[in-house]
Structure 1
Amino acid sequence: MSWEAVARKDFRDAVRSRWLWVLSALSILVFAGAAVGRLYVGGGNQQEAAALLRGFLFYLKQGTAIIIPLTALVVTYAAITRERESGTIKLLLSLPHSRDDVVLGKFLGRSAVVTLPVLIGFVVALLALLPAASGLDIFVYVQFALLTALLGVVFVGIGVGVSAAANTNQQALVGAGGLFAVFWFLWNFFVTGVNRAATDLFGLSTPDQFRLRLALKILNPIQAYKTLVDSLFMSDLEARIRMFSMLFGMIPNQQAAQALGPELSPAFGDAVVLAAMLLWLVLPLAVGIVWFREAEL
């Protein structure tokens, strides 16, 4: 298929530019840290070592939640606009590639560039972890690595979608950087504003306010990723309550626990949170494809 050829070329170009090697080294350092902590800090007590691993991964997600999206956007924001500005996009389209093929191929190629280093880092760390790890340790670690790789793919979709819709590198950079700022720094202000407006209009009760805020928080792909990681160590309900905690989850929110009740609604379960993440993969990519079809090159 034509998009496969675009993806292969894009991946080879990334290898030649050494992006893959830099990201692989970074991922090995990040993931191997968990293995080092598990083997050398946890001591000989397997229960204490397992608890240490879980605690390390629990807070490691704060780092991966920044590094992975930012890396994915840096790798992808100019995926198409750079070729438009240089004129090579016309050469690419003169081959048997449609515009849709170009966008999908770029998405697949850049997804490999972002996710392969994550998986390499995970495998290296797993090899160090394996001699002393329990089966549960390994299972949790695999899930953490897969969720982290998925986060990377989601932001590759966002970055490629922005690049397909933008006319210049500068527009793509502003768009990608703006989205990162919204997700990381402005989203909670958005949640608070919508909740306040809805409460003023409809007189929402306290439980309804927390349910609305939770639904809006889940729509943020970074917050969705973090609460799914939390679900590896605790119940779905505890993971959702932790989304309202302060200081990276160190200060719990008792009011949220009371408002959400003893049982979590299926509307806020892990499957729904995962679907919200996947929505951010599909929607920007689809918008970018449609926009790029009509673009003047």
Structure 2
Amino acid sequence: MSAETVDRGTSAPSSSINPESVGAVAKKDFQDAVRSWLFWGLSVFFFTLLVATTGAVAYFGEDLAAQGATTDVLVGFVSEITRLIIPLIALVLGWKAIAGERESGSIKILLSLPHSRKDVLLGKLIGRSAVLSLSLTLGFALAAVVVAVLMGGFDVADYVGLLGVSIVYGIAYTSIAVALSSLTRSTTIAGAAMFGVFVLFYVVWNSLSTAFRLLADREVLFFDTVSYTTEFQGQEVTVERLPEWAYFVINLDPGEAYGRVLTLVTDVDTIQLQSELDAQMFGGELPFFLQDWFALLILVFWTVVPVAVALYRFDRVDL
């Protein structure tokens, strides 16, 4: 059977989604990860990350341990690390999800089976998300025993909250990665796209606040600052902040949303303090787009929109 015949044969069902077919693709994708030790390697990595961080907190933070505040410190430290590490892992996991199949030509064989293009894309997304989510869960679960023993205080709710938000965060980046992978013909281009995403969110987006502030200082276009009064060392002082729309753009970053969603499910003092400081800039009440619930919507946005675009585009590309 020629490649053209296979492709024409799959064009009819390409607009449909078969849950059983999606599940079959996802199951095979996950099983391949387990056989390649990718799943177990990630589980060991997350376990080591938590144990190492807990050991550092227990060793260098005896005073904190005595106060029973070590869970707060652990969640604060780990969330800063996972904010960087999870996107890297998710982007690598999604790198070859579709592009690798297209480059090798195996995508045509896969589509010659009763799988539509949408089935394959969604199955790959679910399979890669399962690898990341379950490895996180296993790593956290195994480390929980060590964490509880080493720390002076162990808050299960904060610990589970960190795990849950990290999974949602990881799925968002996996969606971005699989979507980009489906839009490229080669793993080289897909790899460049993954690198571009990382640079966008961790270099460009993190620099927006500084860039907006510089433009505001020079009164360029609509970058006008807004004055507000706050208390500093017992005295009221007047300072300036960026316009609200600038904070809206800055906080569309998945990493920023990750930190804010943590305030919904944890009681970590450092995270709560940042929210309180932000509220002072807006007269004591945050705009809706800086509130914790909206941050959750941002993570949902980065999960749904990329895969929705990919479903539309992948159905129409020439394999």
The answer to whether TM tops 0.5 is yes
1:55 maps to which residue? Answer: 73
Contact residue 27 and residue 127 of structure 2 kept, 8 A: yes
Identify which of 170, 191, 210 aligns with 1:152. 170
Specify the code of the residue in structure 1 equivalent to 2:292: D
For the pair 1:13 / 2:48, whether they are aligned, the reply is no
Contact residue 11 and residue 109 of structure 1 kept, 8 A: yes
Moved more, 210-219 or 284-293: 210-219
The alpha-carbon distance between structure 1 residues 131 and 62, as it changes in their structure 2 partners (threshold 3 A), is closer
- Percent of paired sites with the same residue: 33
For the pair 1:226 / 2:259, whether they are aligned, the reply is yes
> Alpha-carbon deviation of 1:160?
0.2
In 2, the alpha carbon distance for the partners of 1:13 and 1:199 equals: 55
Contact residue 57 and residue 73 of structure 2 kept, 8 A: no
What are the ranges of 5 or more consecutive residues in structure 1 without an aligned counterpart?
Answer: 243-255
The alpha-carbon distance between structure 1 residues 190 and 46, as it changes in their structure 2 partners (threshold 3 A), is closer
In 2, the alpha carbon distance for the partners of 1:150 and 1:228 equals: 10
In 2, the alpha carbon distance for the partners of 1:157 and 1:45 equals: 38
In 1, the alpha carbon distance for the partners of 2:281 and 2:244 equals: 8
Specify the code of the residue in structure 2 equivalent to 1:238: L
In 2, the alpha carbon distance for the partners of 1:2 and 1:129 equals: 40
The alpha-carbon distance between structure 1 residues 224 and 84, as it changes in their structure 2 partners (threshold 3 A), is same
Question: What SS is found at the alignment partner of 2:242?
Answer: helix
For these two proteins, the number of residue pairs brought into alignment is 283
> Alpha-carbon deviation of 1:214?
2.3
Moved more, 132-141 or 96-105: 132-141
Specify the code of the residue in structure 1 equivalent to 2:308: A
In 1, the alpha carbon distance for the partners of 2:62 and 2:212 equals: 48
TM alignment of 1:18-29, pairs within 5 A: 18-29=37-48
2:87 maps to which residue? Answer: 69
Identify which of 282, 285, 291 aligns with 2:307. 285
Contact residue 38 and residue 53 of structure 1 kept, 8 A: no
> Alpha-carbon deviation of 1:52?
2.4
What are the ranges of 5 or more consecutive residues in structure 2 without an aligned counterpart?
Answer: 1-19, 228-240
1:88 maps to which residue? Answer: 106
> Alpha-carbon deviation of 1:129?
3.6
Identify which of 271, 282, 306 aligns with 1:260. 282
Q: Deviations over 1:153-198 (max 9, x none)?
A: 1111010000011121111111111011110111133455567389
Specify the code of the residue in structure 1 equivalent to 2:242: Q
In 2, the alpha carbon distance for the partners of 1:66 and 1:18 equals: 23
In 2, the alpha carbon distance for the partners of 1:52 and 1:133 equals: 6
Q: Deviations over 1:234-261 (max 9, x none)?
A: 498733467xxxxxxxxxxxxx665333
Moved more, 182-191 or 93-102: 182-191
Q: Which has the larger radius of gyration?
A: 2
Moved more, 274-283 or 2-11: 274-283
TM-score of the superposed pair, with normalisation by structure 2: 0.79
Contact residue 58 and residue 65 of structure 2 kept, 8 A: no
TM alignment of 1:136-285, pairs within 5 A: 137-193=155-211, 196=215, 200-202=220-222, 204-206=224-226, 209-229=242-262, 232=266, 233-234=268-269, 238-240=273-275, 258-285=280-307
In 1, the alpha carbon distance for the partners of 2:41 and 2:29 equals: 17
TM-score of the superposed pair, with normalisation by structure 1: 0.84
Moved more, 183-192 or 167-176: 183-192
